[in-house]
Structure 1
Amino acid sequence: MGGLNKLMRDRSAMICIIFLTLVVLAGIFAPWLAPHSPIDVNVKEKLAGISTTYPLGTDQLGRCIFSRLLYGIRTTVFIAFITMIVTIVIGTLIGGIAGLFRGKIDEIIMRICDVFMSFPSEVMILAIIGMMGPGLTNIVIASIIAKWAWYTRMVRSIIIKYADKNYIQFARVSGFSRWHIFKKHIMPNTVGEISVLATLDAGSVILMISALSFLGLGVQAPTPEWGMMLNEAKNVMTIYPELMLAPGIAILVVVAAFNFLGDSLQDAFNVKRGKRGKRMR
């Protein structure tokens, strides 16, 4: 509760939370907020300027940039959320097993994690996408494969830190099962630290999704996605560079909000990041 109260008093954290909440709500209600379809082509209105009809103008195919930006939240931000949630669940379960049972099980899991972590996550993602082909589903699968080992190791270290506490030892000698101890005593204490890791990593996942789409390895046209919008805007960059501003600023601001929020969570819950966490993989 102390960490939560400290977070509530942090002005920058609250601004980031409010902003990210508004972004999520904008993505959810995109069909009602968007003035136009994000994929309808209207060549007669191509590269139109800002107006009441097109709040951010149109692209080289006459599509509403504002509408594509709103729908892009669903692709860029929501897919990042899904990727993070699945990765955290897998990492927490496997890391929990390793931290609770220790011994040979822990040794086997850690050696497998060492193999996965021996490759830079970006290189592994590119290799997996190269083998599986471009596409949104393949991005999610590749990200999970590349990141689960790091979360597993981090969760394991957090659990081991709490495993020798007096109340955990008392629960053990009282006959409670390892699953009960994990669910009732260890997990509540690790939620804060795991949320810090996830928030700090969310920005890098958004950048990764956008970068892959920009390179043509991620989301494919005409699906609205911020990286794909940058990819399409580069084709007319010499004659209309303003087209890159909206998706570029959206990526910058959202990633910065996640990073600032992660730093605030880290201060609130007194979490120390490892070297891998500091450089955001």
Structure 2
Amino acid sequence: MFWKRLVSDKMAVLCMITIALVVVAGVGAPWFAPHDPTSLNIMNKYAGISLEYPLGTDQLGRCNLSRLLYGIRTTILFAVITTAITITIGTLLGIISGYFRGKVDEVIMRICDMMLSFPAEVMILAIVGILGPGLLNVVVANIIAKWAWYTRMIRTTVIQYTDKNYIRFAKVSGCGTGHIMRKHVLPGVSGEVAVFATLDTGWVILNISALSFLGLGVQAPTPEWGMMLNDAKNVMITHPTQMLAPGLAILLVVAAFNFLGDSLHAAMNPKSYMHKKGGRLNVFVRSKKSVHH
């Protein structure tokens, strides 16, 4: 039923197709890119759109399309890696905290309170400032800043599931703690984790791009969308089209992840799905027909 509801949502299908095409373009960048993204040709700087350079060239004569395609690998790949590591840590600690409760829960939640008392953006800037610029340091900073939020959210979901009858029955039946957590608790919270992951991937993409734009993330000559915007800002008046490709790419991908997250939430929550599709009226009409028959 979940997949049926998700596939019937046109926005969800459009978002999944968009993300899939972007990922394929990034994986196939060596074959799709017309030029080497780091190849310099000063004599050809700010070239217009042509068959040889479909999106023109930048201030160093590098192909904008090639840099855009290779930038997918940097921006999206590391955003997915960052989100995966953060969610793994948050899910593990959230399940432990919500399942065992007591002193374990108390210790983990107090640490989370401490971490969440700092604004995430300020903490990320502080960590990157201490560790120094670089993509790896940006990934580490994002993980440190976000794991506590995931832990708290997943703990809340776990507490709701531990009160279910089938969990109590598993405990009474003598099932081990590890078995219950793997076979019952983890599948129960996996839906919420998927929604969090999808929504947060867009946030991480924005974060990586923003830090690269500020010169704290990806360093030259590695192609990255935020760095492309940083290069384009210096010629925003004379060559405004330089900002269009990376800016629209970030907008499109982040919007796709955000809309997909909303669609996943609606598909996993039948009441929300019915409200979104006008299903309450349909159910009411069918129920009246069945009564008359």
- Tell me, yes or no, whether TM beats 0.5: yes
**1:241 CA drift (Å):** 1.0
TM-score after normalising by structure 1: 0.94
Letter paired with 2:258: N
Task: Return the alpha-carbon distance in structure 2 between the equivalents of residues 148 and 247 of structure 1.
Answer: 29
**What residue number does 2:113 align with?**
114
Letter paired with 2:122: V
**What residue number does 1:229 align with?**
228
- Name structure 2 gaps, 5 residues minimum: 272-293
Say if 1:196 and 1:271, in contact at 8 Å, map to a contact too: no
Task: Return the alpha-carbon distance in structure 2 between the equivalents of residues 13 and 234 of structure 1.
Answer: 33
Hey, which bits of structure 1, 4+ residues long, moved more than 4 A?
A: none
**What residue number does 1:261 align with?**
260
Q: In structure 1, the residue corresponding to 2:234 is in which secondary structure?
A: helix
1:271/1:232 CA distance change after superposition, 3 Å: farther
Matched, 1:48 2:58: no
**What residue number does 1:149 align with?**
148
Task: Return the alpha-carbon distance in structure 2 between the equivalents of residues 221 and 45 of structure 1.
Answer: 19
Say if 1:171 and 1:181, in contact at 8 Å, map to a contact too: yes
**What residue number does 2:36 align with?**
37
**What residue number does 1:275 align with?**
none
Larger Rg over CA atoms: 2
**1:127 CA drift (Å):** 0.6
TM-score after normalising by structure 2: 0.91
Say if 1:193 and 1:271, in contact at 8 Å, map to a contact too: no
**What residue number does 1:277 align with?**
none
Q: Percent identity between the aligned chains?
A: 66
- The number of aligned residues is 271
What does the per-residue CA deviation read over 1:60-79, in whole Å, with 9 as the maximum and x for residues that have no partner?
A: 11000000000000111111
**1:211 CA drift (Å):** 0.5
Q: In structure 2, the residue corresponding to 1:236 is in which secondary structure?
A: coil
1:150/1:95 CA distance change after superposition, 3 Å: same
Task: Return the alpha-carbon distance in structure 1 between the equivalents of residues 265 and 153 of structure 2.
Answer: 15
- Name structure 1 gaps, 5 residues minimum: 273-281
Letter paired with 2:251: L
**1:3 CA drift (Å):** 2.3
1:68/1:271 CA distance change after superposition, 3 Å: farther
What does the per-residue CA deviation read over 1:162-214, in whole Å, with 9 as the maximum and x for residues that have no partner?
A: 00100000000011111111110111121111110111111111111100000
Q: In structure 2, the residue corresponding to 1:220 is in which secondary structure?
A: coil
Task: Return the alpha-carbon distance in structure 2 between the equivalents of residues 132 and 259 of structure 1.
Answer: 30
Say if 1:99 and 1:160, in contact at 8 Å, map to a contact too: yes
Task: Return the alpha-carbon distance in structure 2 between the equivalents of residues 146 and 105 of structure 1.
Answer: 21
Letter paired with 1:119: F
**What residue number does 1:105 align with?**
104
**What residue number does 1:276 align with?**
none
**1:271 CA drift (Å):** 9.4
**1:270 CA drift (Å):** 2.0
| Cα-Cα RMSD | 1.2
Matched, 1:139 2:144: no
Say if 1:27 and 1:73, in contact at 8 Å, map to a contact too: yes
How do residues 192-271 of structure 1 correspond to structure 2 at under 5 angstroms?
192-270=191-269
**What residue number does 2:84 align with?**
85
